A and B are shown apart, each in its own frame.
Chain A
Amino acid sequence: MADATRPPDWHGQALARRLRRRYAAERRFRRLTTAAVIGALGFLLFLLASIVAQGWRGFTETRVAVPIDLAAARLPVDRAQLGGRAADLALAGAGLEGVVDRAADRLGPDLLSPGAWLRVRDAVKRDPSLLARAATFDLPAADPIDRAWKGDGSPAAEAVASRLAPRLSTGLAIRFLTGSDATDPGRAGIWGALKGSLLTMAVTLALAFPVGTLAALYLEEFAPRNRWTDLIEVSINNLAAVPSIIFGLLGLAIFIGTLGLPRSAPLVGGLTLALMTMPVIVIAGRAAIRSVPASVREAALGIGASPVQLVVHHVLPLALPGILTGTVLGTARALGETAPLLLIGMRAFVAAPPRGLTDPATVLPVQIFLWSDQVSGGFVERTSAAIIVLLALLLAITGAAVALRNRWEARR
């Protein structure tokens, strides 16, 4: 007891030591928390960097300069046919593919990617005079050579690539942006999946936005405070936290099992994702509606507006920017969603872009998932390239939403 009441020895050794220890502990703690932030950000950077490092090569293709003497081949093609729509059939029937293959075989076996001759066909269609002379075409190389030229091929392919080095060049892989899924990595493209994603999102938006907005307006403006309203509120809040795969089970049981809608269709995918997105829109919408100033309400009611007029003429226009931002962010989440779509069958191999809402289709994240399963090495860079496209799309959408919100807020 006597010790505790005695004034501390401010200049003593013990106190100085204790202070040093406490300051050291302070520095340690601070460094630890800094390390946590740096670790998390470092992981993010490493993730993005490793994907970009692999993915940028997916946008390029290796081309082989193949000399082809079309005059010597004497293709039985009528010049007149080349202008019309029959040109494709005429050139294919004349055996152009064989001519191109033989020309490439003179340089080495299995040099060209399947479908490389289509480039020659298109060139001839653009310039029919090619049929009367010899020319050199830059044609996409087969997958092993493509990878060897990009620096990670097999030793055998490396040898072929270094032998052909003067003939090899690198160009933009337009096929990757315009094509659909294929078994050969060189021909695989993302347009089919992108179109599937766009169709699916259209269905999601068309359903989730109006329903979500109306539900938010009802809950904020009209709902009486009773047990039923509580039930609606609780279910909306819980739906927002239900794992996405549960929505896939629901879509499978209801839309496919009970209603008999087609599997793999953007319609079913969109409906399933709409159920998932709607609670997000309701929650964002209610926050936006709550932030409409009370003075606006009182003024409208004061000059005799009915509750519906108040909502339609005043509350909705003022809350719309907030609702739209929530909608866009919810859609961005749905756009990156994979799990529920796996269950409703959007994981099939689809080699053509969907033409309608009920055609078999796949979406961008599922396409990434499917390619990641491929054993063929060329798909590694295609997968990363597809991820880059998906991330760029998400970034653009989110950025647009944020910019939109800032503009509206500045104007108000």
Chain B
Amino acid sequence: MSTLGLLFTVTALALIGWFVARARAMQFAGFGRRSGAGAMHHGWRVAAFTALPPLIFLSAWGVISPALVTDRVLATPAATALPPPGYDRATILAEARGLAKGERPGAFHPLSRALAPAYAVAQTRLDWIATAAALLLGLAGGTVAFARVRADFAAHVSVERLVRSIFLAASLLAVLTTVGIALSLAWQGGRFFAIVSPLDFLFGTRWSPQAIDPRDPGASLGALPVFWGTFLIGVVIAMAVAIPFGLGAAIWLTQYARVSTRRRVKPALELLAGIPTVVYGWFAALSVAPAIRSLGVALGIGSASGESALAAGLVMGAMIIPFVSSVADDSLHAVAVALRDGSLALGATPSETIRHIVLPAALPGIVGGVLLGVSRAIGETVIVVMAASSVAILSADPFAPATTVTRQIVDLLTGEAVFDSAKTLAAFALGLVLFGVTLALNVAALGIVRRHGRAHG
């Protein structure tokens, strides 16, 4: 039976269970000892007991069954001719699977044609086993639940407990994702650091992952230039744009603009944050980078490059403006009106009030906003993939090419089929560093905003 048909059958069974249990519970409604459960509760309990076991079984089955099918196929005589594990073998098996399911008209490898019937047999067999098991589980669950449709059984307590545990499971998925990120990065990173010493990786100054010496991979995987490039683009240049513009805009919006103007300008600024980063990347690569290059040439800078740190950093800074301005806006807004009015009443001009009273009071919030902006900037990928360079050099020259952690992750993982080389593992090690740094920045930023946000409010 197809997956869809099976799901349909299970749903139908649950529906039947619901109606039957409800009808039976209605019969004794109002008689004898009452448990407080309504007929509906009995219905829902039976429906849940019918539907949930097969559904849980099927989702687990969906994960393990491909491996089971492949195992059975590999046990057939035709499989002895397969090449050893690797790319070819995976391709042939995938083709055979496609042929067996009728998804592809023909195959490139003759061997996959030979394996296709074995696939079809194994698949059909396991499908039948799964169908039978799912239906049996559903019927068994439904029967067990139906046996307890009695006047004195508190079905509603059971149903409520079930609903709560479904809710809890949903929120545990968030924890699972965090743990999944941390574990997969730590696991792959750990494998990387088993090959390359962490000291070489963090402080080595030569980064050339395209030519790794297998005897000493650490010598060409020193990530210091990559970290430097990230710092130069994401922190120095981007913040040199984002802080003055973001802060200036926040000051104007909260202190000078009329309410009606503010209502119109603020959403327009936030539009900058809603534009997909690929659009910024396209703009940086097509318009800004060539302009920066000709500017560098005109200034007589020999190193001027079409993949300069300046082009990527400037556009990234423009992208960060709304992040800085909206947090700064909130904290400037939170400064007590009495402080401001007091300063103005003493004769200070508005700008003196802002510089000496309002800004110092709002400073923690602004710093928090800038930290959030930095974390956003160093995690930004597409702009640097499109506009920055893939070559890592230690140079403070903004016109020279520069690279970032995110750019290297994309480069290292592109077109790579093998999971175990030092090259791909290096991407996970870079990811681990990036995850750690952004996490620390976010925790620090949120902490500052929470602790000082209302100190003067």
Interface pair A249/B409, CB less than 8 Å apart: yes
Point out the residues of chain A lying under 8 angstroms from B181, CB to CB. Answer: 242, 246-247, 249-250
Point out the residues of chain A lying under 8 angstroms from B395, CB to CB. Answer: none
Question: Which residue of chain B is the closest to A390 with respect to CB atoms?
Answer: B276
- Among B67, B185, B283, B376, point to the contact of A249 (Cβ < 8 A): B185
Give the distance in Å from the alpha carbon of A245 to the alpha carbon of B318 in the complex: 20
- Among A257, A332, A368, point to the contact of B278 (Cβ < 8 A): A368
Q: Does B235 contact A (CB under 8 A)?
A: no
Also in contact, A398 and B188, with CB within 8 A (given A241-B375, A246-B434): no
Interface pair B274/A398, CB less than 8 Å apart: yes
Point out the residues of chain B lying under 8 angstroms from A51, CB to CB. Answer: 279, 282-283
Q: Does A372 contact B (CB under 8 A)?
A: yes
Q: Does A396 contact B (CB under 8 A)?
A: no
Q: Does B178 contact A (CB under 8 A)?
A: yes
Of listed A33, A238, A347, residue having the most chain B CB within 10 A: A33
Q: Does B28 contact A (CB under 8 A)?
A: no
Point out the residues of chain A lying under 8 angstroms from B244, CB to CB. Answer: 36
Min Cβ gap A19→B in Å is 10
Interface pair B438/A241, CB less than 8 Å apart: yes
Also in contact, A50 and B245, with CB within 8 A (given A232-B171, A241-B438, A337-B276): no
- Among A247, A259, A282, A308, point to the contact of B174 (Cβ < 8 A): A282
- Of the listed stretches A40-48, A70-78, A180-188, A290-298, name the one at the interface; the rest are far from the partner chain: A40-48
Q: Does B269 contact A (CB under 8 A)?
A: yes
Min Cβ gap A212→B in Å is 8
Q: Does B136 contact A (CB under 8 A)?
A: no
Q: Does B197 contact A (CB under 8 A)?
A: no
Interface pair A338/B175, CB less than 8 Å apart: no
Q: Does A365 contact B (CB under 8 A)?
A: yes
Interface pair A245/B381, CB less than 8 Å apart: yes
Give the distance in Å from the alpha carbon of A50 to the alpha carbon of B284 in the complex: 12
Give the distance in Å from the alpha carbon of A187 to the alpha carbon of B193 in the complex: 48
Min Cβ gap B408→A in Å is 11
- Of the listed stretches B109-117, B161-169, B220-228, name the one at the interface; the rest are far from the partner chain: B161-169
Also in contact, A347 and B265, with CB within 8 A (given A211-B170, A241-B372, A245-B381): no
Question: Which residue of chain B is the closest to A29 with respect to CB atoms?
Answer: B351
Question: Which residue of chain B is the closest to A282 with respect to CB atoms?
Answer: B174
Interface pair A342/B245, CB less than 8 Å apart: no
Min Cβ gap A334→B in Å is 10
Residues 176-203 of B contacting A (Cβ, < 8 Å): 177-181, 184-185, 187-188
Residues 193-227 of A contacting B (Cβ, < 8 Å): 210-215, 217-219, 222-223
Interface pair A336/B277, CB less than 8 Å apart: yes
User: By the criterion of a CB under 8 Å from any partner CB, how many residues of chain A are at the interface?
Assistant: 84
Interface pair A36/B174, CB less than 8 Å apart: no
Point out the residues of chain B lying under 8 angstroms from A32, CB to CB. Answer: 248
Also in contact, A372 and B282, with CB within 8 A (given A245-B410, A250-B184): yes
Point out the residues of chain A lying under 8 angstroms from B349, CB to CB. Answer: 22-23, 25-26
Interface pair B178/A33, CB less than 8 Å apart: no
Residues 297-311 of A contacting B (Cβ, < 8 Å): 306-308
Question: Which residue of chain A is the closest to B427 with respect to CB atoms?
Answer: A249
Min Cβ gap A256→B in Å is 9
Q: Does A394 contact B (CB under 8 A)?
A: yes
Q: How many A-B residue pairs have CB under 8 A?
A: 247
Point out the residues of chain B lying under 8 angstroms from A135, CB to CB. Answer: none
Give the distance in Å from the alpha carbon of A275 to the alpha carbon of B188 in the complex: 20
Give the distance in Å from the alpha carbon of A394 to the alpha carbon of B249 in the complex: 25
Min Cβ gap A34→B in Å is 6
Give the distance in Å from the alpha carbon of A275 to the alpha carbon of B181 in the complex: 11
Point out the residues of chain B lying under 8 angstroms from A41, CB to CB. Answer: 265, 268-269
Give the distance in Å from the alpha carbon of A166 to the alpha carbon of B355 in the complex: 67
Interface pair A215/B170, CB less than 8 Å apart: yes
Min Cβ gap A28→B in Å is 8
Min Cβ gap B381→A in Å is 4
Also in contact, A245 and B271, with CB within 8 A (given A33-B248, A40-B318, A218-B167): no
Interface pair B167/A239, CB less than 8 Å apart: no
Interface pair B174/A50, CB less than 8 Å apart: no
User: By the criterion of a CB under 8 Å from any partner CB, how many residues of chain B are at the interface?
Assistant: 90
Point out the residues of chain A lying under 8 angstroms from B50, CB to CB. Answer: none
Give the distance in Å from the alpha carbon of A23 to the alpha carbon of B446 in the complex: 38
- Among B180, B248, B372, point to the contact of A254 (Cβ < 8 A): B180
Point out the residues of chain A lying under 8 angstroms from B276, CB to CB. Answer: 335-338, 365, 390-391, 394
- Among A26, A257, A337, point to the contact of B351 (Cβ < 8 A): A26
Min Cβ gap A373→B in Å is 8
Min Cβ gap A360→B in Å is 12
Point out the residues of chain B lying under 8 angstroms from A214, CB to CB. Answer: 166-167, 170-171
Give the distance in Å from the alpha carbon of A43 to the alpha carbon of B286 in the complex: 15
Interface pair A250/B180, CB less than 8 Å apart: yes
Point out the residues of chain B lying under 8 angstroms from A321, CB to CB. Answer: none
Min Cβ gap A320→B in Å is 16
Q: Does A237 contact B (CB under 8 A)?
A: yes
Question: Which residue of chain B is the closest to A344 with respect to CB atoms?
Answer: B413
- Of the listed stretches B13-21, B77-85, B251-259, B296-304, name the one at the interface; the rest are far from the partner chain: B251-259
Q: Does B403 contact A (CB under 8 A)?
A: no
Point out the residues of chain B lying under 8 angstroms from A312, CB to CB. Answer: 163
Interface pair A222/B168, CB less than 8 Å apart: yes
Point out the residues of chain A lying under 8 angstroms from B278, CB to CB. Answer: 336, 338, 365-366, 368-369, 372, 387
Q: Does B247 contact A (CB under 8 A)?
A: yes
Interface pair A232/B164, CB less than 8 Å apart: no
Q: Does B272 contact A (CB under 8 A)?
A: yes
Q: Does B156 contact A (CB under 8 A)?
A: yes
- Among A222, A306, A369, point to the contact of B167 (Cβ < 8 A): A222
- Among B248, B376, B410, B438, point to the contact of A35 (Cβ < 8 A): B248
Q: Does B49 contact A (CB under 8 A)?
A: no
Q: Does A331 contact B (CB under 8 A)?
A: no
- Between A and B, 7 residue pairs with Cβ closer than 8 Å are A23-B349, A36-B246, A37-B248, A37-B269, A239-B177, A369-B281, A387-B282
Additional A-B contact list (7), CB under 8 Å, known A32-B248, A339-B410: A36-B245, A37-B265, A44-B268, A222-B164, A231-B175, A249-B181, A307-B160
Closest 3 CB pairs of A and B: A243-B379, A36-B248, A336-B276
B contacts, CB < 8 Å to A: 63, 66-67, 156, 159-160, 163-164, 166-168, 170-175, 177-181, 184-185, 187-188, 244-249, 251-253, 255-256, 265, 268-269, 271-272, 274-283, 285-287, 318, 321, 325, 349-352, 354-355, 372, 375-376, 378-382, 385-386, 406, 409-410, 413-414, 419, 427-428, 431, 434-435, 438-439, 442-443, 446
